[in-house]
Chain A
Amino acid sequence: MMLWSVVLIPAIAGIAAMLPPMRAVRRSLLVATAVAHCGLVGWVCFATPVVSRDSWFAIDAPARIILAITSVLFLAAALYCVGYLRREEGRTTCDAEEGFLFHNEPEGIFVGCLLLFLASMSFVCICQHFGLLWVAVEATTLASAPLISFHRHHRSLEATWKYLLICSVGIAMALLGIFFLASAGRGHAPGLTLSGLVSSAAAMDPVWLKAAFILLLVGYGTKMGLAPMHTWLPDAHSEAPSVVSALLSGALLNCAFLGLLRGHTVLAAAGLGSFSGELLVLLGVFSMVLAAVFMIRQTDYKRMLAYSSIEHMGILAVGAGLGGVAATGAMLHAMNHSAVKGMLFLAAGNLLAVYRSKNTCDVQGVLEKLPVTGCLWFAGFLAITGSPPFGLFVSELTILKGALDGSHWVVAALYLAALGTAFVAMARIFLPMAYRLPDGSPHDGASSPGAREPVWSVLPPLALALAALVLGVYVPAPLWDAMRQAASALGVL
């Protein structure tokens, strides 16, 4: 029952928010649901995970971490959203880049879809049945597509169409993979539950299992943004409202990662863990290198953040594929990345609101004009590139340690090279934005009064930044245990 409420509460609230009578309380409903969800998830997660054999719904160790990340990030996004919707109120808005007028989507649909999005992501986390997991992952696509086209103009429609089509087609491949799994398990496993498949995996036909994992990798990898199936990701992340980008990047990609981990778990139980692990590492390294290269000449800061997400998803795949310490590192990394990337996208939303441009050349002197957002932007740069004292440093180092321990020298070298390239590329973009003053303006700052920074738009990213900082300095022992359990649940420790 507790488990179901995690899904049902946001789902019911989402449907309610679409109804016209709720207009006045819609935003309060959003925040209230986010708070309630957070509380419930806290309760569910602190209880010890009990997974009985053949149960369809349960929270196991990896799901616990992903669900907690999703819930916390959603709370931050919901608070930010209140300010965002207040700013966006009104029938027509002027486009930030090209200056034409457009309508926004009705607010009811936007808020409703946000809540349904939360419900579907929670559903992904509690599913232990592969068929239902597929249904849930596809549901996340459908709930989030209308969010991307909140600003109804030609670029957002293009991004939405690409997102919807590429992800739906990709996910259809995953369904085929699930049928392969079912065929492999025929006569051995009673159904498609995770525990059932794991316990009988050793008796299954390895060829079917391998084919199934490749299809799952294509399907959920598309959703997770692993290269070369990543093409929807930069478009969707750059055109969606920043608060939606934060959720897509920080929560949705993790959910797809969880789907991939489920497949990996079954293969590992069948003794094919090295096959699936190598594929994960291969795609992960490829994503990291490709994303780093694309970041070098990027002029759109939201696209740059999107490519950074691809890079970090690559890191997660590498960590999970290597197994052992690296898998623990991957869990920690998922947590850190979500906090930092959520914070950066929210800060990017503040920049977009003030400068009305996504081009890095137009956004300069942020530290002076928007002190708090500027500090966040600068701290976010340090954090996302894995500099100490932020959490990503710890998790990236843990994954590197895993690679070196297993003497995967090539992987370690490419990993470091990609991280280094990304650091340089991002420094070239972030630092001028933070420091350089617009040409010809006096340096005393008197001529450019700081813009107003509402509490709604500053506090949520600040809290996320603090979380990333704390995780870098001190990871509580219970949290380490939870992550170690999650890593060992993959079965490749």
Chain B
Amino acid sequence: MEVVSDILVVLLLLSNLYLLAASRITACIQTVALQAVVLGVIALTSAAGGLTLVVVSVTLATMAVKGLVLPWLLRRAIRGADVAREVEPFVGFTTSVLVGAGLLVISVVVAEPLCSSAPADVSAMMIPTSLFTILTGLFIVVTRRKALNQALGYLVLENGVYVFGSSLAIEEPFLVELGILLDVFVAVFVMGIIIFQINREFDHIDTDKLSVLKD
């Protein structure tokens, strides 16, 4: 169990670092989809109450929504936007990765006191990794120019929160799990629609040019 958990942690870490370094939007979308699969497996391996039908079905639904439906939606939203191929961050890729390494150190330090109350059969790195995923998501939201990347950053952040929940073996009731999944789905769905409209209205999705409203 420990080995599987460690492999999953490494996969999650690498996917975060790759997200910080990837320059093509489609590659970012694929990575986020891969992340969804990884966190589904994490949820399955760390389910506290064993693999009941409810747990499995909710996790599979999460994997399907975050790994298949949402990436498809986001890819659709930028279809026809030729300008939207490259990420064009405010902070360069090399710097991003270096910052990512710093964030990882911070999450390990911060998670130190939290780890003691985690269940025993979860990898000790799981909680720092989930915090790292959350911080990576925030970093992407703040430093990426394209609206689509910001939406991806939100998804990464959400993934991090999800992993945090499953690494602490917090068992949400079925209804709540489903509600959270529905909310994330609709959130990205609406974001996709708005990105599509922004693209049509402005012929770009660069959020730094969305700066008319200010004081």
Residues of A within 8 A of B (CB): 129, 131-132, 134-135, 138-139, 141-142, 145-146, 149, 152-155, 157-162, 164-165, 168-169, 172, 175-176, 179, 182-183, 186, 191-192, 205, 207-208, 234-235, 238-239, 294, 298, 303
Contact = CB atoms under 8 A, between A and B. Distances in A.
B52 interface: no
Contact of A175 (B141, B150, B180, B215): B180
B161 A176 contact: yes
A208 B113 CA distance: 10
A161 B213 contact: no
A179 B154 contact: no
A239 B212 CA distance: 11
Contact of A234 (B175, B202, B215): B215
B212 A131 contact: no
Contacts of A145: 190, 194
A239 B213 contact: yes
Nearest to A123: B179
B201 A152 contact: yes
B210 interface: yes
A157 B154 CA distance: 18
Given A161-B194, A161-B207, A138 B187 contact: yes
B134 interface: yes
Most chain A Cβ neighbours within 10 Å, of B150, B164, B212, B213: B213
Contacts of B165: 179, 182
28 contacts: A131-B176, A132-B176, A139-B183, A139-B186, A141-B187, A142-B190, A145-B194, A153-B201, A154-B202, A157-B198, A157-B202, A158-B212, A159-B213, A160-B194, A161-B198, A162-B210, A164-B190, A168-B187, A169-B154, A172-B154, A172-B158, A172-B161, A175-B161, A179-B168, A186-B117, A234-B213, A234-B215, A298-B215
A142 B187 contact: yes
B144 to A, nearest CB: 11
B2 interface: no
B147 interface: yes
A183 B179 contact: no
Contacts of A186: 117, 170
Contact of B191 (A129, A165, A179, A183): A165
Interface residues of B, number: 40
B72 to A, nearest CB: 19
A132 B175 contact: yes
Contacts of B197: 149, 152, 157
Given A145-B190, A154-B202, A179-B168, A168 B154 contact: yes
Nearest to B162: A175
Interface in B163-215: 164-165, 168, 170, 172-173, 175-176, 179-180, 182-183, 186-187, 190-191, 193-194, 197-198, 201-202, 207, 210-213, 215
A32 to B, nearest CB: 26
A231 to B, nearest CB: 9
Contacts of B172: 131, 182, 192
A42 B136 CA distance: 47
B138 interface: yes
Contacts of B77: none
Nearest to A185: B170
B157 interface: yes
A28 B87 CA distance: 47
A146 B201 contact: no
Given A139-B183, A179-B164, A207-B113, A165 B141 contact: yes
Most chain B Cβ neighbours within 10 Å, of A153, A157, A239: A157
B138 A161 contact: no
Most chain A Cβ neighbours within 10 Å, of B150, B154, B215: B215
B180 A134 contact: yes
A294 B215 CA distance: 8
Nearest to A163: B194
A172 B157 contact: yes
Given A139-B183, A168-B187, A176 B215 contact: no
B131 to A, nearest CB: 9
Q: Which 6 A-B pairs have the closest CB atoms?
A: A135-B179, A131-B176, A158-B210, A235-B213, A138-B183, A182-B170
Given A152-B197, A172-B154, A161 B210 contact: yes
Nearest to B157: A172
B190 A146 contact: yes
A84 B52 CA distance: 52
A381 B158 CA distance: 42
Nearest to A141: B187
A146 B194 CA distance: 9
Contacts of A152: 197, 201
A98 B158 CA distance: 38
A238 B215 CA distance: 12
A152 B210 CA distance: 14
Contacts of B175: 132
A138 B117 CA distance: 29
Contacts of A157: 194, 197-198, 201-202, 210
A222 to B, nearest CB: 13
Nearest to A235: B213
B203 to A, nearest CB: 11
